[in-house]
A and B are shown apart, each in its own frame.
Chain A
């Protein structure tokens, strides 16, 4: 690695002498540069006996990049006079950076016709000078150097002001509603069919004397769907502890195993049955997607659980698991936020929590005012989305159909606010 770097520097250093050498001995340089200074791709080299000349680029300027922490600088220039759309001698440009007066370093090779570049390798505590060379098939020609510049560090990214605003409104209303609920105001939340069924599903397992199987998806703790699955697990295992039913949870990630154990243990403690809890309720199988599925399928047909929960992030295995669960006659409650897998759960499970309902489930099951309050906050976000869709569609339709300027302005504003950058 280190050796490579050094090589590069010496090569570049040597290249800088090229223009000078050309004056002295043109044929020699042409032959040399053909072998050692390799402009981009080998296919580009057209053997040539004389050095091909080109004008350097002009008006090279460097400016600070907006909203970075000093790691970027923007360069602009006017392309070489020998780089017209057709038939120029320039085959590309090279950008060189000189940091704090040290040796120039090649930072980019660009195709012809380019007039700008963003260097992403700077830091805020150095000063930089740049120059650009026009590369022909046999040599390169240096431009004037820029003024020295020290990159600025910005502390706030104002490009993301609308994102911040929306996060503030949506997040703020969640917090406000949680606070309202904490003060004791009653909040209404409609019934969610799949969640109404949880108690019955657990009760059924108790009656039948069969275990309950809980699958938290196949992703790790760094996915929010797994977290949603685990929070629901917390609520469900409270009920399970009360009913004194067996729960079994094979997992495909070690961290989920640890978190799953903590969750169930806590639920049993709260229910006053810590003696009933055992680490064997949660077991690790394998990280491999289909290896895990093979094992869970085996568990399903052998243990014949009465109730199966599939709550978390699922991929192609969704239907394999759900069909096997259906085959053994288990009541199945599934939920995922992966739209591609929802159809399969809808087809094979008794109840399916569709996307948002998965995240709302633990709040709903807890029946705690605070948690329910957060669902209200979500609805504010939905109301905003709905209002913007109506407003936007009306504005853009009127604006485009009848060329109404003010409506077009409104559309542009809405699109700008909801653009993610």
Chain B
């Protein structure tokens, strides 16, 4: 069983990697397996967790569950063309909920908290005594405040990027680009780790087994 499993895993691993050269039947096969199996996997887990788990085991005690089920049934009315338009109701419901939930959430966690975090002193008597630490913190805080401010100027929609305003927006886009470059470079290592994991598997678990 274990042997077979490792062979299957290796076969599929190489199938996916072969896509890097070009599209080919091996990749197509791996892709077809991936799509079919994973769609089935998701449905089965959804079924046991949500339908069986909540309505059978949980006995559907929460009346809210039945509201959800009713909306779900409305959704299925799409299959009957004549009254298919009713399926827009659950959609409208979901959109309304999502919009309402996100509005306050994002306002508080994205805007307010970040603004609050930017209120940092450029200079303070409380900073460490060593010159190095102080200079480091001062420069850091100035950069954070200036970068955030100019970045916001860049996103301003109501004014053309011209003159002094345009210049500030340019500083803003510099900061944003710096951010992108830095995060890109920083992610490389974790991406390589993933490949190391797969190569490890191929060399030691699979080829090591053949030896």
Contacts and interface: CB of A to CB of B under 8 A. Distances in A.
Interface string A287-314: 1101100110110011000000000000
A322 to B, nearest CB: 12
A302 B31 CA distance: 13
Interface string B102-135: 1110111101110110111111111000000000
A281 interface: no
The main secondary structure of chain A at its interface with chain B is helix
Contacts of B10: none
A392 B118 contact: yes
B54 interface: no
Interface of A: 163, 166-167, 170-171, 187-190, 192, 221-224, 227, 255, 258-259, 262, 285-288, 290-291, 294-295, 297-298, 301-302, 339-340, 342-344, 346-347, 354-357, 360, 375-376, 378-379, 381-382, 385-386, 388-390, 392-393, 395-397, 399-401, 403, 411, 414-415, 418-420
Contacts of A262: 88, 91
B34 A376 contact: no
A387 B51 CA distance: 51
A223 B30 CA distance: 30
A386 B124 contact: no
Contacts of B91: 221, 255, 258-259, 262
Given A190-B157, A285-B39, A294-B31, A347 B119 contact: no
A221 B98 contact: yes
Given A301-B23, A389-B145, A382 B152 contact: yes
A343 B182 CA distance: 9
Given A262-B91, A393-B120, A356 B115 contact: no
The 4 closest A-B pairs by CB, nearest first: A288-B38, A392-B119, A291-B38, A400-B124
Interface in B138-197: 145, 148-149, 152-153, 155-161, 176-177, 179-181, 183-184, 187
Interface residues of B, number: 66
A378 B103 CA distance: 12
Given A294-B34, A389-B148, A393-B122, A287 B98 contact: no
A378 to B, nearest CB: 7
Given A382-B156, A389-B145, A400 B39 contact: no
Given A285-B35, A286-B39, A375-B157, A400 B123 contact: yes
Contact of B35 (A192, A295, A340): A295
A192 B118 CA distance: 27
